[in-house]
Amino acid sequence: MDSKTPGLEQLDFRFDGRRAVGSFAPVLVGVVGSGNLEVMMEPGSAGACSFHVETSARGFGAIWEAVCRDFQERHGLAGVDVSIHDMGATPAVVSLRLMQAAAELPGAAP
């Protein structure tokens, strides 16, 4: 948790990847607003996918980790940094936004 941003909890997760994405322009989906969130995917460190979450809903680190881990187990992204700015979205909405962003990456399934 970062005390520099009052009211927000900041969480970081990193998972090994198995599918190198390669070069791509940053992808942004969603809108931060009441009960929603935005997801940005940018090129990152080779071999891994990192997640940085800023959320107004404190105390849900284990759930965030489970949602990010589930996404990564299904997609196996490597070389991607994911930033999530959340204002109370449900895990289902988080998963939807992650899938929408991943669909915009090079080599994504149609």
pTM for this prediction? 0.90
Supply the pLDDT for residue 109. 57
In a domain? residue 41: yes
User: Each residue of 82-101: pLDDT tens digit?
Assistant: 999 999 899 999 999 999 99
What's the one-letter identity of residue 110?
Answer: P
Counted domains in the chain: 1
pLDDT in tens, 24-79: 999 999 988 777 899 999 999 889 999 999 998 899 999 999 999 999 999 999 99
Angstrom distance (rounded) from CA 106 to CA 9: 31
Instruction: Name the residue range of residue 33's domain.
Output: 9-103
What is the enclosing helix (H) or strand (E) of 16?
strand 9-16
Residue 110 lies in a domain: no
Asked if residue 65 belongs to a domain, the reply is yes
Examine residue 21 and state whether it is found in any structural domain, yes or no.
yes
pLDDT at 1 over 80: no
Quickly state the pLDDT bin for 110 (edges 50, 70, 90): very low
In a domain, 67, yes or no: yes
